[in-house]
């Protein structure tokens, strides 16, 4: 079986390759590639020189951070607090007047024990971003692009589709994430509306332990497969 490196090399265009001995012999140089109208092809094909499909195997669509989305709201905010309190991206203390300063995550979690800090009040700031307030101070996290944050971290299938077109991505595989709640309905709808552009992973939260009924689990899998768009099982 060829190695990854040899497999990639075999796919690369070789129009510019020539033996060293003939580098200065213009009579033996390969004919120049026929001029291409690059606006007739996507960025991936223009870069590689041949038709190709780019697949994003790890993509998300998300509800707003303050939407319960099939989960107890208090539990969802607890998960959000733990997620943001341990995330590597920056945290800012902000004010309504626009001033800011970068701080650590200690407003959300104890930096030594990672226990959740009590008394957190969640809301959207004046720019629509997810934020939390504690001891009279407001904070935001830099874990999402600003245009997504301005929507309360909501990101629709249509927005992902527009980003895919811009980046010349043909297909995206939609993943689950526990902090977002139940993404099953949104994933099924996205695959039904755009069947050529989205695939989805199915997920069963109770699979962290042995299922009570294997027949019941198989029936759930069959229902998901019947709904279409399934690329695999995420666990």
Q: pLDDT, tens digit, for every residue of 183-203?
A: 999 999 999 999 999 999 998
31 pLDDT more than 70? no
Q: What is the mean pLDDT of residues 146-157?
A: 96
127 pLDDT more than 80? yes
d(CA 200, CA 60): 10
Q: Name the residue with tokens 């995550």.
A: 105
17 pLDDT more than 50? no
Q: Name the residue with tokens 């993943």.
A: 175
Q: What is the mean pLDDT of residues 157-175?
A: 97
CB–CB of 11/48 below 8 Å? yes
CA dihedral 220, 226, 232, 235 (to 10 degrees): -20
Q: What is the mean pLDDT of residues 106-120?
A: 95
CB–CB of 83/75 below 8 Å? no
d(CA 124, CA 65): 9
Per residue in 53-110, pLDDT (tens digit) is 999 999 999 999 999 888 898 999 999 999 999 999 999 999 988 899 999 999 999 9
CB–CB of 104/91 below 8 Å? yes
Sign (positive/negative) of CA torsion 146, 151, 154, 157? negative
d(CA 7, CA 157): 33
pLDDT band at 32, cuts 50/70/90? very low
pLDDT band at 157, cuts 50/70/90? very high
CA dihedral 174, 176, 179, 185 (to 10 degrees): 80
d(CA 79, CA 84): 9
The whole-number pLDDT of residue 150 equals 96
- Neighbouring residues of 190: CB distance < 8 A, sequence distance ≥ 6: 61, 157, 174, 198, 200, 229
């Amino acid at each position: 079986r060829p190695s990854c490196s040899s497999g990639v090399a075999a796919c690369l265009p070789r129009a510019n390759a020539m033996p060293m001995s003939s580098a200065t012999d213009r009579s033996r140089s390969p004919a120049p590639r026929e001029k291409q109208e690059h606006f007739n092809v996507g960025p991936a094909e223009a870069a590689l020189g041949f038709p190709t499909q780019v697949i994003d195997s790890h993509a998300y669509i998300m509800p707003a951070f303050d939407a319960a989305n099939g989960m107890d709201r208090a539990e969802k905010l607890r998960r959000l607090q733990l997620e943001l309190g341990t995330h590597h991206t920056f945290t800012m203390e902000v004010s309504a007047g626009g001033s800011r300063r970068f701080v650590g995550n200690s407003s959300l979690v104890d930096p030594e024990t990672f226990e959740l800090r009590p008394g957190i009040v969640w809301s959207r700031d004046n720019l629509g971003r997810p934020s939390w307030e504690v001891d009279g101070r407001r904070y935001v996290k830099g874990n999402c692009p600003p245009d997504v944050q301005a929507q309360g971290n909501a990101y629709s299938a249509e927005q992902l589709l527009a980003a895919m077109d811009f980046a010349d991505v043909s297909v995206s595989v939609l993943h689950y994430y526990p902090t977002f709640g139940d993404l099953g309905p949104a994933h099924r709808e996205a695959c039904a509306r755009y069947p050529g552009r989205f695939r989805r992973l199915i997920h069963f939260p109770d699979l962290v332990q042995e299922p009570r009924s294997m027949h019941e689990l198989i029936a759930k899998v069959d229902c998901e497969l019947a709904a279409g768009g399934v690329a695999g099982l995420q666990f």
